[in-house]
Structure 1
Amino acid sequence: MPAIAATLAWLAMLSLFAGATVTAEFPSIELETTSSDTLDGVLRAALNAPELDRAAEGGDAKGWQPFVEAERHRLEELIRGQGYLHARVEMPDAADDAGSSDKVTLKPVTGPIFRVGMVEVDGLQDVATDTVRDDVSRQMMEAVGKPARGDLLATLEDEVLWRLRTASYPFVRVTERELLPIPGRALATARIVVEPGASARFGAVAYSGLVGLRQDELGRLQPFKQGDPYNPDVLERFREALLGHPSVKAVRLRLPEAVDADGQLQLRAEIEEDQLRAEDVAGNYRTGLVAAVSAIAALAIRQVSVASLRPGRSRWPLWFEVVPVLLLAAAFYVIAQRMLLLAFPG
């Protein structure tokens, strides 16, 4: 069988308790191919380095064996994580080499690739509602028939955590996860054990970092009321609403470590306000002043133009009467706002 020539870089550092340092000569690693090109690519990428450090002649040649053995076990776990749950990596007996080989060949024996035959989620009994359990079960069943890979198990874990958090369990955690081969079949059971923790409801929100903003002003942005069931989606909408405020630069929402005696989460919103620079205020002030002068000029022109009306007509069209008034009101509003910001920055 052709072999994938790949070498590992080992740090040749062996320190003796007596204080003397002995450097060993490490052989190169040769990895045989498997029946899967994809798996071969994963294994090639997993090897530690392109070159093997060689020690000075006459070193203790047996020093490399524990390192190669550790690499063999690491590759075994890697292959099993790709769905080959019975995989092993064979290596010649070190005694046969007598420590004199320039290379060591590792032979992966993959066996069949396993697929998910069943998904078990333990820890939901007597805690989550039937609706939540049914929701989790439907999502887990989508994994049946897929290769029993480590990344699939991680995805299932994320799905369980997210669905329980949206069901008002913010402190849920996974305590165990594993892929268990089903005897006699190339199928596996994906098992996940969770601790849901306490169910929670939204409590009050305490704000910090406020300078010019008022707490009641930000409170109107809350998409929930005190006592509503906790939901991370709602909390994210709250964060986005705070960031959408023109005076808010940054927001950090902090959850407590546990619910209070009433089963509520007392949240903390840390606000960083966007301080308005004096040059920005001055620029907007000038803009408002120009708008005001323009509106006054429009009113003056309108009054002067009344004298030029055609006989039998005493006023201009309604739109010409209304537009200057609205423009003037908007201009004075902008000026007043900017003057307040100059007087009370932040």
Structure 2
Amino acid sequence: MVTMSVQFQVSSSSSSSCLWLPNSPSPPNSPLFLPTRTTRFSSSPLAATPTFSSQSPTIQIIGNHTFDGSNQGGTNLWTDLDTDLYHWTKVLRPVQWFPGHIAKAEKELKEQLKLMDVVIEVRDGRIPMSTSHPQMDLWLGNRKRILVLNREDMISTADRNAWAEYFTRRGIKVVFSNGQLGMGAMKLGRLAKELAADVNVKRRAKGLLPRPVRAGIIGYPNVGKSSLINRLIKRRMCPAAPRPGVTRDLRWVRFGKDLELLDSPGILPMRISDQSAAIKLAICDDIGERSYDVADVAGILVQMLTKFPTVGRDMLCKRYKIDEDSECGKIFIEKLAVHLFNGDVHQAAYRVLSDFRKGRFGWTALERPPR
């Protein structure tokens, strides 16, 4: 029988978000952590005595599948990461956030949709799928639509190209933008006018005077809707801040003589059934902080970043000057807390999340198009 080279470590933390093998004897409140090691496999790995070997190929066991050097950065990385996230989030408290103003805004938005000639849906370029409302297609029907992937400056060229190809293949008009610097704003304005050009053609045919094209800008909280409008009209007409829930009322804003824009509050589903998406919303600050445990979310982020070939555990350890080889993100956060924040886990977790949001680990998306 071939031996399996792996090391087992069990945590006593009941709220840990660490890696857990769903088919192992260990329950979720006692996760089994599997650090990256050189391994060999046996037909009964859990019954075998763990040993280390320097002769076998380097394989990293994560969740219930493996990564090796051949698929780093490829399709398997993203597919397997989705599987990991599903298992990691199963042991966490569900992330849910639906403040009262969203219910009111959703009702009003549905009424305003009747007045719109074209709808501009804004998503976070780092997580385009997770910032897609499950009922959006039902609400919009056949209405003309433009998809904006904002924060293009926060993703890599490879991420951008992958998403551009994905949406183009599906016949979806997509614009990449940076609401803070205004990139893509003018292109978006021109495209909105072009798509709705037939509005005034029909009005003239009926003997009516032309009117401005009405474009509604909708999307999840904190994806950059208000900043995008401010860049379009070149002045601060809509309140904007880098946190969710700033815009609470619908507001029409005139852009020149030909275009009217509707700024709307961020709209979330009443219940987020996909907790992998919810965690990504929390990581990217697209959902209220009171809806999640910062330490849990930061722990998941660490586990995700260690899988990215552009980051990895070595970069994390080097940045924070700590030595940690456990696959458990929660343990990493706890060790960082002791090293830099006098044991304050919340501050350590917030630092890691803030560093990611500011691009300290390099700009990268947390999603790639489904295959």
Q: TM-score w.r.t. structure 1 length?
A: 0.19
- Greater relative CO (CA pairs within 8 A, separation 6+): 2
The higher radius of gyration belongs to 1
Q: TM-score w.r.t. structure 2 length?
A: 0.18
More strand by share: 1
